[in-house]
Amino acid sequence: MTKPASNRLTWIALILLGAVAVICLLLGRWQLERAEQRREIAATLEAGRRAAPLTLRPGMPVIGLQAWRPATAEGQWRPEWSVLLDNRNLDGRPGLWLVTPLMLDQETAVLVLRGWLERPIANRPVARVPTEISTVRIEGELALRVPRLFELWTSEANAGASLPQGWKGMTQPVEGEIDPVLLPRLQNLDLDLYAQRTGLKFLPVVLMQHSGSVDDGLKRVWPEPSVDSDKNVGYAMQWFGFAGIVLIAFLVVVWRHVRRRQSP
């Protein structure tokens, strides 16, 4: 007869092996879903960049405002409403993004990610950023929102709430240039809340600047989403392989249990 203790251990082993196999299969499926998501992102990126360049203008239909689409905008900067986005590293160097509204007419603006500058260190002087006061033409690519950094303490609903209370724009503005020392630093920026604080009416997109009419010393290398779906497929195959090994072990335990029960 098979001892009750042996039966209990066998059933415990089978339950554990079954649970591990299910977990491995679910993880493999999740990796395949991630691979499909990255394929969709890659298709969106390619479709946007293949689209005809768009000229941004007030009142234009939202349907044409797709991510990664080349776009141009003409207008005048509102440098007093500039902000800095912190913790934007480039090539391993800590830095900031300069963000400035560009007025397309008297009422409507587009928010422009102008470029990267190195974070000031200690008492080292910070170079001012040339900013034309006349009409400028900016070329770049569209984004549906300002790229975000994860904040444990910040929800999507109040992502722009770190603007200083009572902030009314840059103090002591200098004509023709922006002094980064005078600007508030934010971790993330929500376009809707930013519009409420500035009183400006924005197009529902952000323009990531690639070129402009003056050399302002900013670097324009914008982050792109990861589209390496093959890596996720490889991880999925590993998890399915682990599941196969566990299922073989499951069958071996069952076979041994049956053999013990059949032995005199």
CA proximity to 205, closest of 161, 141, 137: 141
Query: Token pair for residue 58?
Result: 């007030």
> How many alpha carbons lie under 13 Å from residue 65 in its C-beta half-sphere?
18
Residues 135 and 257 in one domain: no
> What type of residue is 93?
R
78 and 193, same structural domain?
yes
The verdict on 97 and 194 lying in the same domain is yes
Tens digits of per-residue pLDDT, 155-197? 444 444 467 777 777 766 667 888 888 888 888 898 988 998 8
**pLDDT per position as a tens digit, 143-163:** 998 888 765 444 444 444 467
| Lookup: tokens for 226 | 């990861």
Enter the tokens of residue 225.
């989403």
What is the extent of the structural domain holding 251? Answer: 4-45+228-262
For residue 54, is it within any domain? no
How many CB atoms lie under 10 A from the CB of residue 18? 13
**Does 189 share its domain with 130?**
yes
pTM of the model: 0.79
Same domain, 166 and 242: no
pLDDT by 10s per residue, the chain, length 264: 446 667 788 888 899 999 999 999 999 999 999 999 999 989 988 988 899 999 999 988 887 788 899 999 999 999 999 999 999 989 888 899 999 999 999 999 999 999 999 887 766 777 889 888 889 999 999 999 888 876 544 444 444 446 777 777 776 666 788 888 888 888 889 898 899 888 899 999 999 999 866 788 899 999 888 888 999 999 999 999 999 999 999 999 888 888 877 766
